[in-house]
């Protein structure tokens, strides 16, 4: 897979590049936000590792501009364990985050998990519920004939509830389906992704497609 690494620290860029190349990924790098936008448009990466604390144009602005034209998966690097930064990043459409300092093995593992969610292991299958269609091969969501641009995580969440219509998924069930068994994700992280997913489906005309039963879990709603 082609990975774009964006960070203004040359030592960190080299560390991340080496770790990803050892995992058989092809890596290009950018040192600032402007260069990142140029490189993202030029190389069409499968995933972007993006530092928040970039000079002149920070990672949030880079993410916003990329999201205006692409749903490429984005993994944020945060300089501190700041919940506000994490939540803002997820609200803007990032798929995951890693806090500095980090283990290169953890970074590679998170990159691999995002790539799997975003389509490298897609199955040849069409799922339908009311007006919502999931094309599992193309990793495309549609409401009627309109395409709904979802991140890899949002797609995986919708897939999880559509795979079990009528079943109430606990938060643990949802976390296991999206991030894998034993993964540690905060309620705030899950809520941010669910909020983005609901908003996008509502904007496409299905405001009640995912329901939350307080204290119990999440289930597929009506979209007729």
Q: Which of 12-16, 27-31, 167-171 has the lowest mean pLDDT?
A: 167-171
Q: Which of 2-16, 87-101, 109-123, 179-193 has the lowest mean pLDDT?
A: 109-123
- Position with higher pLDDT, 39 vs 128: 39
Closest CA to 47 of 19, 78, 25, 24: 25
Average pLDDT, the chain: 86
Task: State the fold for domain 126-220.
Answer: Arc Repressor Mutant, subunit A (1.10.10)
The rounded percent of the chain whose pLDDT value lies above 70 is: 92
**CATH 3.40.50.2300 boundaries in the chain:** 2-120
3-state secondary structure of 63: helix
- Position with higher pLDDT, 103 vs 182: 103
Assigned token pair, 89: 């990043």
pLDDT per residue as tens digits for the range 52-89: 989 889 999 999 999 888 889 999 998 766 677 778 88
Question: CA–CA distance from 86 to each of 1, 5, 34, 215 (Å)?
Answer: 25, 18, 22, 24
Please count the residues of the chain: 224
The CATH class given to the 2-120 domain equals alpha beta
Helices marked H in the chain — which ranges? 10-22, 33-43, 59-67, 83-91, 104-115, 152-163, 171-179, 187-203
Q: What is the pLDDT of residue 70?
A: 84
Using pLDDT thresholds of 50, 70 and 90, give the confidence band for residue 172. confident
- Summary count for the chain: helices (H), strands (E): 8, 11
pLDDT per residue as tens digits for the range 95-136: 888 988 889 999 999 999 898 877 644 444 778 888 898 887
3-state secondary structure of 135: strand
Q: What is the pLDDT of residue 3?
A: 94
Q: What is the pLDDT of residue 122?
A: 43
Give the rounded distance of the alpha carbon of 190 from its chain centre: 11
Task: Tell me the helix, strand and coil percentages in the chain, rounded to 5.
Answer: 45, 20, 35
Q: What is the DSSP letter of 54?
A: -
Q: What is the pLDDT of residue 204?
A: 93
Q: What is the pLDDT of residue 80?
A: 66
Strand 74-78 versus strand 47-51 pairing type: parallel
pLDDT per residue as tens digits for the range 203-222: 999 988 888 888 788 888 88
Distance in angstroms (rounded) separating the CA atoms of residues 185 and 179: 8
Please compute the mean of the pLDDT values over residues 173-194 and round it to a whole number: 80
Distance in angstroms (rounded) separating the CA atoms of residues 7 and 49: 8
Q: Is the pLDDT of residue 165 over 80?
A: no
Question: CA–CA distance from 41 to each of 4, 6, 55, 66, 67 (Å)?
Answer: 11, 14, 20, 9, 12
**CATH 1.10.10.10 boundaries in the chain:** 126-220
């Amino acid at each position: 897979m082609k990975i774009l690494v964006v960070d203004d620290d040359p030592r960190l860029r080299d560390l991340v590049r080496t770790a990803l190349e050892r995992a058989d990924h092809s890596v290009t790098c950018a040192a600032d936000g402007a260069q990142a936008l140029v490189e993202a448009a030029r190389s069409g990466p499968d995933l972007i590792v993006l530092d928040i604390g970039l000079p002149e144009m920070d990672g949030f602005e880079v993410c916003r501009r990329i999201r205006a034209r692409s749903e490429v998966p984005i993994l944020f690097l945060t300089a501190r364990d700041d919940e506000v930064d994490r939540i803002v990043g997820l609200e803007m459409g990032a798929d995951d985050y890693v806090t500095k300092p980090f283990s290169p093995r953890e970074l590679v593992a998170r990159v691999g998990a995002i790539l799997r969610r975003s389509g490298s292991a897609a199955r040849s299958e069409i799922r339908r519920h009311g007006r919502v269609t999931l094309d599992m091969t193309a990793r495309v969501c549609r409401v009627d004939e309109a395409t709904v641009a979802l991140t890899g995580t949002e797609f995986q969440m919708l897939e999880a509830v559509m795979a079990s219509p009528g079943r109430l998924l606990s938060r643990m069930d949802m976390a296991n389906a999206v991030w894998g068994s034993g993964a540690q994700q905060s309620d705030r992280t899950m809520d941010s992704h669910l909020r983005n997913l609901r908003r996008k489906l509502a904007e496409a005309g299905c405001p009640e497609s995912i329901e939350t039963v307080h204290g119990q879990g999440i289930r597929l709603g009506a979209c007729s």
